[in-house]
Amino acid sequence: MAVKGAPTWGYAKTPCSHPGISDLGSTRSGLAFNLSFRKWECCCLGVASAQRAITPVEDEKPNLTGAESSGAIQRIEDNESRGFHKDMNLLPKPLTANDLSSPRDGSKVRVAYQGLPGAYSEDAALKAYPKCETVPCDQFEAAFKAVELWLVDKAVLPIENSVGGSIHRNYDLLLRHRLHIVGEVQLQVNHCLLGLPGVTKEELKRVLSHPQALAQCEMTLSSLGIVRINADDSALAAQMVASTGLRNTGAVASARAAKIYGLDILAEKIQDDDDNITRFLILAREPIIPGTDRPYKTSVVFTLEEGPGVLFKALAVFALRGINLTKIESRPQRQRPLRVVDDSNEGSAKYFDYLFYIDFEASMAEPRAQYALGHLQEFARFLRVLGSYPMDTIP
Ligand SMILES: O=C(O)C(=O)C[C@]1(C(=O)O)C=C[C@@H](O)C=C1
């Protein structure tokens, strides 16, 4: 494995180029000294596991002159004759910076999603981490818990659709669990009408799918005059059609689900709006450190005191700093859904009490975002930052 910053060091060059390396042959405890990380890397290279710690790729091998090369080889042979070559194989392989950083394709990441294989939520997980291991969960809450219990690294959950609107359940769960939003995925959702092999769409009497998916295909399904039946997710609907073997029952699901469950695609892109986009959130146990290197979004949730113009004031903290809001959602407060307010003239009145969820286009690394939330805190009864994460701009 090649190490950043180390390639120029090739394994034979190291012992002669670093001061103190010559001692290493006789004192492996040199590792316990107060060595810098670079020196520590050198020690490991020089003493023991040069070949195993770093296997330089072909073009990173040092181009040694004859004299350098014979000197280096001599030192290695000296070490080996003193018996160090045996230790080389026994010593643990030192960790490198590459070992510690997660690969960008997510090949070591386990991602929970709600639904069965072939669900759109799995597509979203694979869009975010193309080589991840996807872990199906029966309910949204199971995906939250899987992250909290360290069964998986991340969860990918739908939060809103461009046609169907918000997925309220996930807004409520965001507050009930203490996970952090570390990313978002915008997914183009192309629904297909699926049926058993050889069936025509005219034969269908009913169709199964997730309620959001059925709602997104309202016009097509109405024109076919088919009865709609809710399922937990679109892939489960496809699986049910395949397993029941009913020729008059179809499913609204993805082309990938058709392949997985051996169904025919009777019609493609049956959603009412061509631009049918679902936005998913990526949740993790730890927040990411926000940057300013690319466009970021921040999600917050807060409650306000009762009174004229309080929501106006809350929104003004962003407008005053030129911060664009991309989403506002209000949900009833489960702990205190109703608030009784005593008015001396009118008697007591009951008001609904709300949580406000806001997404805004700025990173928490930007002072204007910090000032805006500091300002909001002055009159919000409760405020929580759910996450500050890179925006997904390409559906
Ligand atoms: O049923 C699925 O396949 C899902 O992933 C669920 C879901 C949703 O919850 O909105 C996800 C994306 C589509 O908008 C339709 C359904």
SS3 labels along the chain: CCCCCCHHHCCCCHHHHCCCHHHHCCCHHHHHCCCCHHHHHHHHHHHHHHHHHCCCCHHHCCCCCHHHHHHHHHHHHHHHHCCHHHHHHHCCCCCCHHHHCCCCCCCCCEEEEECCCCCHHHHHHHHHCCCCEEEEECCHHHHHHHHHCCCCCEEEEEEEECCCEECHHHHHHHHHCCCEEEEEEEEECCCEEEECCCCCHHHCCEEEECHHHHHHCHHHHHHHCCEEEECCCHHHHHHHHHHHCCCCEEEEECHHHHHHHCCEEEECCCCCCCCCEEEEEEEECCCCCCCCCCCEEEEEEEEECCCCCHHHHHHHHHHCCCCCEEEEEEEECCCCCEEEEEECCCEEEEEECEEEEEEECCCCCCHHHHHHHHHHHCCEEEEEEEEEEECCCCC
Q: Which member of 84, 280, 356, 360 is catalytic?
A: 280
Q: Ligand 1: does its nearest atom lie under 6 Å from the Cβ of 279?
A: no
Class of domain 192-267: alpha beta
Q: What is the pLDDT, as a whole number, of residue 307?
A: 83
Biggest distance spanned by C-alpha atoms of the chain: 100
One digit per residue, pLDDT tens: the chain, 395 residues? Answer: 333 333 222 222 223 333 222 222 333 332 222 222 222 222 222 223 332 332 223 333 334 344 444 444 444 445 445 555 556 677 887 877 766 666 666 668 999 999 999 999 999 999 999 999 999 999 999 999 999 999 999 999 999 999 989 999 999 999 999 999 999 999 999 999 999 999 999 999 999 999 999 999 999 999 999 999 999 999 999 999 999 999 999 999 999 999 999 999 999 999 999 999 999 999 999 999 999 999 999 999 999 988 889 999 999 999 999 999 999 999 988 666 545 555 555 555 566 789 999 999 999 999 999 999 999 999 899 999 999 999 997 66
Measured between alpha carbons, how far is 115 from 235 in angstroms, rounded to an integer? Answer: 7
Give me ligand 1 centre to Cα 7, in Å: 47
255 neighbors 265 (Cβ within 8 angstroms): yes
Nearest alpha carbon, ligand 1 atom 3? 119
Q: Take residue 253 and report the two structure tokens written for it.
A: 């699901």
255 neighbors 194 (Cβ within 8 angstroms): no
Strand duo 249-253 + 180-188: pairing? unpaired
Nearest alpha carbon, ligand 1 atom 9? 158
205 neighbors 227 (Cβ within 8 angstroms): yes
Measured between alpha carbons, how far is 24 from 296 in angstroms, rounded to an integer? Answer: 48
Active site residue 278: yes
Measured between alpha carbons, how far is 314 from 331 in angstroms, rounded to an integer? Answer: 16
Q: Take residue 334 and report the two structure tokens written for it.
A: 């489960």
Cα dihedral: 266, 272, 273, 276 (round 10):
-60
Long-range contacts of 237-241 (CB under 8 A, 24+ apart): 237/207, 237/208, 237/209, 237/210, 237/213, 238/118, 238/194, 238/263, 239/116, 239/118, 240/208, 241/194, 241/195, 241/196, 241/208
Q: Give the phi and the psi of residue 238 in degrees, each rounded to 5.
A: -65, -40
> At what angle are helices 367-377 and 310-319 packed, to 10 degrees?
170
For ligand 1, what atom is nearest to the CA of residue 164? 14
Q: Report the topology of domain 288-394.
A: Alpha-Beta Plaits (3.30.70)
Q: Give the phi and the psi of residue 336 in degrees, each rounded to 5.
A: -145, 70
For the chain, what are the domain ranges? 84-189+275-286, 192-267, 288-394
Give me ligand 1 centre to Cα 362, in Å: 28
Give me ligand 1 centre to Cα 212, in Å: 6
Q: Which member of 14, 220, 249, 278 is catalytic?
A: 278
Active site residue 27: no
Q: Ligand 1: does its nearest atom lie under 6 Å from the Cβ of 161?
A: yes
In CATH terms, are 192-267 and 288-394 the same topology? Answer: no
Q: Which CATH number is 84-189+275-286 given?
A: 3.40.190.10
Q: Ligand 1: does its nearest atom lie under 6 Å from the Cβ of 233?
A: yes
Nearest alpha carbon, ligand 1 atom 1? 233
Measured between alpha carbons, how far is 101 from 299 in angstroms, rounded to an integer? Answer: 26
pLDDT tens, 178-198? 999 999 999 999 999 999 999
